[in-house]
Structure 1
Amino acid sequence: MTVPEGWLYENTPDNTARFVLGTVGENPLICVGVNPSTATPLKLDRTVTRIARRAAKNNYDSWIMLNLYPQRSKDPDGMHTQYLPELKAQNEKHIAELLRGRSVTLLAAWGELIEKRAYLPEMLDGIAQIAEQGSCGWMSIGSPLKRHHPRHPSRAPYDTSLQSFDMATYLRTL
């Protein structure tokens, strides 16, 4: 697939994993979800459409979708039962290159889906360490859920404000 101008799209050659999807800008809202579904620059899904709208509503000039685990699956139940170390390494490499030590806003947005696979907290920890190198700030959509997870973008009304999210404390609760 040829990536349209103004878009970011990084995936595996066979398209079974996606690392980055978003638009180019100086002040992006960078969302971290659980896993990518089928969205591409030419065909957005509900989650990334909501991220794009939320970014615009909150005065970001662009948005980027990252994920804890890059395997494409329409349903998180379809993710690998054991993670593939090479996918974890590729995902972290793409995220580190994207962040490049910048101080940007990351939106924690996985909801209770983080409980779908036992390895997902480990994936989050690796990403949080990369983000910490750039002094990135974490936000969530409204207050955390009952089990302390940040809300998923498709399950929160647009008028729900972004608020600071304490990633260090959250990681200790997982």
Structure 2
Amino acid sequence: MKAKFISLPENNPNFRYYLGKKGKNNLLVVALNPSTANVHKHDGTSDNIEKITAVNGFDGWLLFNLSPQRTQYPYLLGLEPKIKMLEQNRHFLNQFLKDNDWSIGSVWLAWGNNINLRHYLKEEALHVLSKIRDLNLNIYCIKLTGTGHPYHPSKQSVNRYVGPIDKIEFHPFEIDSYIKKLKQN
């Protein structure tokens, strides 16, 4: 079966560094952690990502996560960071941002309140935010949670709190105040 998406690794049940579909107008998406999507099939989140990016004028997307550890339930992420895995995740994201052969000019932040589940998720978010801020990219979210985090695009949260998938628009994200907030908590 021919792969529909690019993924590294292609189909490892324990971790994934990135998943995407290259187009002419590409968007970098940063979410919390990978679930079940792979090179052949979407999961609920990646399905929503593809639909929301299309509604907002992007025909390609590349999904990275704060943690590459796969789980359908973020509360099952390891209590302590898997250092080597997180270092590899940072390496691939940094390499992608440096090379940027996808010509990405925009980023969608999408990790939700579950960033509070593990201390290392905030640390990874701060790393990602510092990297993308320095590149002067357009930074978006679909909505902020009640506690000020960028909404995650899971089927349940989008349908319940954000609205119809074909009407969801990106909103500018204020990165400097968010970084300040993360550092204080």
What TM-score, normalized to structure 1? 0.89
- Structure 1 residue 129 displacement after superposition: 2.2
Per-residue CA distance 1:17-71 (angstroms, 9 max, x = gap): 1011010123212211111011112121000000000111111121111100101
Q: Distance in 2 between matches of 1:13 and 1:160?
A: 30
Same amino acid, percent of matched pairs? 27
Give the drift of 1:13: 8.2
Q: Distance in 1 between matches of 2:152 and 2:7?
A: 22
Aligned positions of 1:98-113 closer than 5 A: 98-100=96-98, 102=100, 104-113=105-114
Aligned to 1:7: 5
Residue 127 of structure 1 is matched in structure 2 by 128
**Aligned-partner Cα distance in 1 for 2:85–2:130:** 17
Distance 1:12-1:49 versus aligned 2 partners, 3 A rule: closer
CA RMSD of aligned residues (A): 2.0
Aligned to 1:147: 147
Quick check: 1:3–1:9 contact (8 Å CA) kept in 2? no
Match of 1:28 in 2: 26
Equivalences for 1:57-68 in 2 at 5 Å? 57-68=55-66
Deviations 1:76-131 (A, max 9, x none): 11111011221111001111122226552111111111111121110111112222
Secondary structure at 2:75 match in 1: helix
Q: Is 1:166 the equivalent of 2:167?
A: no
Q: How many residues were matched structurally?
A: 171
- Contact 1:82/1:119, CA 8 A, preserved across alignment: yes
CA distance in 2, matches of 1:81, 1:26: 39
Aligned counterpart, 1:51: 49
Where 1:51 maps in the other structure, the secondary structure is helix
Higher helix share: 2
| Greater alpha carbon shift after TM alignment, 13-22 vs 146-155 | 13-22
Structure 2: which amino acid aligns with 1:140?
C
Name the structure with the higher strand share.
1
Structure 1 residues 12 and 85: CA distance shift in structure 2, 3 A? farther
Query: In structure 2, do the counterparts of structure 1 residues 14 and 108 end up closer, same or farther at CA, with 3 Å as the change threshold?
Result: closer
User: For residue 94 of structure 1, what is the amino acid of its counterpart?
Assistant: F
Does structure 2 retain, via aligned residues, the 8 Å contact 1:107–1:140?
yes
The residue aligned with 1:118 is 119
Is 2:19–2:38's contact at 8 Å kept on the other side of the alignment?
yes
Mapped partners of 1:168, 1:16: distance in 2 = 33
Q: Distance in 2 between matches of 1:149 and 1:73?
A: 20
The whole-number CA distance in structure 1 between the counterparts of 2:30 and 2:47 is: 14
Q: 1:119 aligns to what SS in structure 2?
A: helix
Range 150-159 or range 112-121, more displaced = 150-159
